[in-house]
Chain A
Amino acid sequence: MDRDRSPLSQHRVGARLPLAGHVPAPFFASFKWLLVALPLLFLAGFFFYPLISIFGVSLAPEGQLDLSGFAEVITSPYYRDTLGFTVWQAALSTLLTLALALPGAYVFARFSFPGKSLLLSLATLPFVLPTVVVAAAFSALIGQNGVLNEGLMRLFGLSAPPIQLERTLTIILIVHVFYNYAIALRIISSYWANQSQRLEEVARVLGANGWRVWWEVRLPLLRPALLAAAVLVFIFTFTSFGVVLILGGPRFATLEVEIYRQATALFNLQVAAALSLVQVGLMFVLMIVYTGLQRQTRGALQSTRAVTRTPQTGREHTFVIANVGLMVILLLTPLAALALRSFTGDEGLTTSFYALLDSNPRGSVLFVPPIEAVGNSLRYALATTVLAVLLGMASAYLLNRRGARWLDAIFMLPLATSAVTLGFGFIIALDEPPLNLRTSAALIPLAHTLVAMPFVVRSVLPALRAISPSTRGAAQVLGASSFNVWRLIDLSLISRGLIVGATFAFTVSMGEFGASVFVVRPDAPTMPVVIFRLLGQPGTANYGQALAMSTILMAVCAVSFLLIERARTLGIGEF
Chain B
Amino acid sequence: MKRLLFLLLIVLTVAPLSAQENVLTVVAHDSFNYSDALMEAFEAETGITVQVLRSGDAGTMVNQSILSKENPLGDVMFGVDNTFLSRALDADLFQPYESPALADVPEEFQVDPEHRVTPIDYGDVCLNYDTAYFAENDLPLPESLADLTKPEYKSLLVVENPATSSPGLAFLIATIVNFGEEGDYTYLNFWEDLVANDVYVSDDWSDAYYAQFSGAGDGTRPLVVSYASSPPVEVYFMETPPETAPTGAITADGTCFRQIEFAGVLAGAQNPEAAQQFIDFMLSKEFQEDMPLQMFVYPVNPEVALPEIFTKYSAIPEEPVTLPVDEIDAGREGWIQAWTETVLR
Query: What's the Cα separation between A203 and B218 when bound, in Å?
Result: 56
Q: Could you say which interface size class chain A belongs to?
A: 35 or more
Contact B36–A364 (Cβ < 8 Å): yes
If A363-B35, A390-B1 touch, whether A539 touches B15 (CB-CB below 8 Å) is: no
For the complex formed, measure the closest distance between the CB of A25 and the CB atoms of chain B, giving whole angstroms. Answer: 16
Q: Does B173 contact A (CB under 8 A)?
A: no
Q: Are B55 and A520 touching (Cβ within 8 A)?
A: yes
B63 within 8 A of A: yes
Whole-angstrom distance between the alpha carbons of A442 and B226 in the complex?
Answer: 37
Q: Indicate if the CB atoms of A432 and B71 lie closer than 8 Å.
A: yes
| From A245, A440, A535, A541, contact of B238 by CB (8 A) | A541
For B262, list chain A residues within 8 Å (CB): none
B241 CB to closest chain A CB (Å) equals: 12
Instruction: Evaluate contact between B4 and A390: CB separation under 8 angstroms.
Output: yes
* A41: nearest chain-B partner, CB-CB: B9
Identify which of B97-105, B186-194, B206-214, B319-327 touches chain A. B206-214
- Interface-side segment among A1-9, A210-218, A259-267, A316-324: A259-267
In the bound complex, do residue B1 and residue A537 qualify as a contact, i.e. CB atoms below 8 Å apart?
Answer: no
CB distance from B303 to the nearest CB of A (A): 23
Map CB proximity to A onto B50-76 as digits: 1 under 8 Å, 0 otherwise: 011111110110011011100101000
- From B111-119, B131-139, B140-148, B196-204, the one touching the partner chain is B196-204
User: Which residues from B are CB-within-8-Å of A522?
Assistant: 53
Q: Are B164 and A538 in contact (CB under 8 A)?
A: no
Assembly CA distance A260 to B59 (angstroms):
11
Please report the C-alpha to C-alpha distance between residue A128 and residue B291 in the assembled complex, in whole angstroms.
33
Set of chain B residues within 8 Å of A521, measured between Cβ atoms = 53-54
Residue of A nearest to B239 (CB): A352
B294→A362 contact, CB < 8 A: yes
A352-B239, A538-B230 in contact; A34/B5 too (CB < 8 A)?
yes
Partner of A442, one of B15, B55, B205, B296: B15
Bound: A364/B33 CA distance, A? 7
Is B161 part of the contact surface with A, judged by Cβ < 8 Å? yes
Are A540's CB and B211's CB within 8 A?
A: no
Instruction: Assess whether A560 is interfacial by the CB under 8 Å rule.
Output: no
Name the A residues within 8 Å of B258 (CB-CB).
Answer: none
User: Given A57-B67, A362-B294, A518-B60, are A440 and B233 neighbors across the interface (CB < 8 Å)?
Assistant: no
A117-171 residues at the B interface, CB under 8 angstroms: 132, 135-136, 139-140, 144-145
B297 to chain A, nearest CB (A): 12
Q: Does B236 lie within 8 Å of A249, measured CB to CB?
A: no
Bound form: Cα–Cα A245–B293 in Å: 31
Chain A 23-59 near chain B by CB (<8 Å), digits 1 or 0: 0000000010010001000000000000000100100
Contact in complex: B64, A132 (CB < 8 Å): no
Q: A424 near B16 (CB under 8 angstroms)?
A: no
Given contacts A246-B204, A387-B8, A539-B236, contact A139 B218 (CB under 8 A): yes
Tell me which residues across on chain A come within 8 A of B8, comparing CB atoms: 387
Q: Please give, as numbers and ranges, the residues of chain B lying within 8 Å of A390 by CB-CB distance.
A: 1, 4-5
Determine the distance from Cα of A436 to Cα of B211 in the docked complex, in whole angstroms.
40
Q: Which residues from 20 to 37 on chain B have a C-beta closer than 8 Å to any C-beta of chain A?
A: 27, 30-31, 33-37
Q: Is the C-beta of A517 less than 8 angstroms from some C-beta in chain B?
A: yes
Add 14 more A-B contacts to A365-B33, A533-B30, A540-B237 (CB < 8 A): A261-B163, A264-B59, A364-B294, A365-B36, A428-B67, A439-B16, A446-B12, A520-B54, A523-B52, A523-B54, A536-B31, A537-B233, A539-B238, A543-B217
Q: Which 6 A-B pairs have the closest CB atoms?
A: A539-B237, A541-B237, A535-B206, A538-B230, A363-B35, A538-B233
Residues of A within 8 A of B (CB): 31, 34, 38, 54, 57, 132, 135-136, 139-140, 144-145, 245-246, 249-251, 260-261, 263-268, 341, 352, 362-366, 386-387, 390, 420, 424, 427-428, 431-434, 436-442, 446, 517-518, 520-523, 532-533, 535-543
Interface residues, chain B, with chain A CB atoms under 8 Å away: 1-2, 4-5, 8, 11-13, 15-17, 27, 30-31, 33-37, 39, 51-57, 59-60, 63-64, 66-68, 71, 73, 87, 161, 163-164, 169, 201-207, 209-211, 216-218, 220, 226-227, 229-230, 233-234, 236-239, 246, 293-294, 296, 332-333, 336, 340, 343-345
